[in-house]
A and B are shown apart, each in its own frame.
Chain A
Amino acid sequence: SQKIEQNSEALNIQEGKTATLTCNYTNYSPAYLQWYRQDPGRGPVFLLLIRENEKEKRKERLKVTFDTTLKQSLFHITASQPADSATYLCALDMNTGFQKLVFGTGTRLLVSP
């Protein structure tokens, strides 16, 4: 069956360090993958999208990689700040002809001052 795995344990890092979050999937061939940020009691907010033919995408302090052979995406936040503390969700497109996204459970990131 289809499965997306994100580390369910919270990731604790110090301010200024690079946070790396992992999204692994099985039994998919997604056309693209998206990363969202979700704060408590709020809806997810889109951050980055990476297509299957792209290896890496950057936006300011954010970087996403996509390895379709390993079936893995890595999400990096460089020079992390306490304001980056949130839950980060990865979502894969099911390649069905309309945008059906399958979401991971999310990883909570805590950045300490």
Chain B
Amino acid sequence: DGGITQSPKYLFRKEGQNVTLSCEQNLNHDAMYWYRQDPGQGLRLIYYSQIVNDFQKGDIAEGYSVSREKKESFPLTVTSAQKNPTAFYLCASHQWAGDQPQHFGDGTRLSIL
């Protein structure tokens, strides 16, 4: 079955540590996205990528970094510069054809130790 796989499901970060969240898709989608979800808030866009080797900052990119070396993969690194990283992180992909829906993974919940 085609879909998006995020790992790990739960992740704990120590002070000063960088952590990387994995996102892999086998839908052959061009565009990929990272969102952050906090209680009582809508999903907020962190980074997005329209094609391989290209990515753009979203609304809340500070303290995060990404790479897009392969079409299937779009890992997100939460750096030590992100002072409030505790949240539910969602990866999505989208076929680059106008109003097609986004397909989401099942998220990674990041907490601070």
Where the two chains meet, the residues of A that have a C-beta atom closer than 8 Å to any C-beta of B are 4, 8, 31-32, 34, 36, 41-46, 49, 51, 89, 91, 93, 98-106
Residues of A contacting B42 in the complex (Cβ-Cβ under 8 angstroms): 4, 89, 102-106
Q: Enumerate chain B residues within 8 angstroms of A49, measured Cβ to Cβ.
A: 99, 101
Q: For B44, give the chain A residue with the smallest CB separation.
A: A103
Q: Tell me the nearest residue of chain B to A93, going by C-beta.
A: B99
Q: Is the CB of B50 within 8 A of A43?
A: no
Would A100 and B107 be within 8 Å (CB), given that A8-B40, A31-B99 are in contact? Answer: no
Q: Which residues of B contact A104 (CB under 8 A)?
A: 42
Whether A99 pairs with B94 at a CB distance below 8 angstroms is yes
26 A/B residue pairs, CB under 8 Å, sorted by A: A4-B42, A41-B107, A41-B109, A42-B106, A42-B107, A43-B4, A43-B107, A44-B90, A49-B101, A51-B99, A98-B31, A98-B48, A99-B31, A99-B94, A99-B98, A99-B99, A99-B102, A100-B45, A100-B48, A101-B43, A101-B102, A102-B42, A103-B35, A105-B40, A105-B42, A106-B42
Let me know if B104 is at the binding interface, CB within 8 A. yes
Q: Does B13 contact A (CB under 8 A)?
A: no
Cα–Cα distance between A31 and B105 once the two chains are bound (Å): 25
Residues of chain B lying within 8 A (CB to CB) of residue A45: 104
Per the 8 Å Cβ criterion, residues 47-95 of B in contact with A are 48, 50, 90, 92, 94
Task: Decide: A43 near B99, CB < 8 A? Known: A105-B42, A106-B42.
Answer: no
Residues in chain B near residue A99, CB distance under 8 A? 31, 94, 98-100, 102
Q: Which 6 A-B pairs have the closest CB atoms?
A: A43-B104, A46-B101, A103-B42, A103-B43, A32-B99, A43-B106
- The chain A residue sitting closest to B38, CB to CB, is A105
Q: How far is the CA of A69 from the CA of B75 in the complex (A)?
A: 40
- Bound-state CA distance A93–B42 (Å) is 14
Which of chain B's residues have a CB closer than 8 A to the CB of A4?
42
Q: Are A43 and B101 in contact (CB under 8 A)?
A: no
A51–B98 CA distance with the chains assembled, in angstroms: 11
Shortest CB–CB separation between residue B101 and chain A, in angstroms?
A: 4
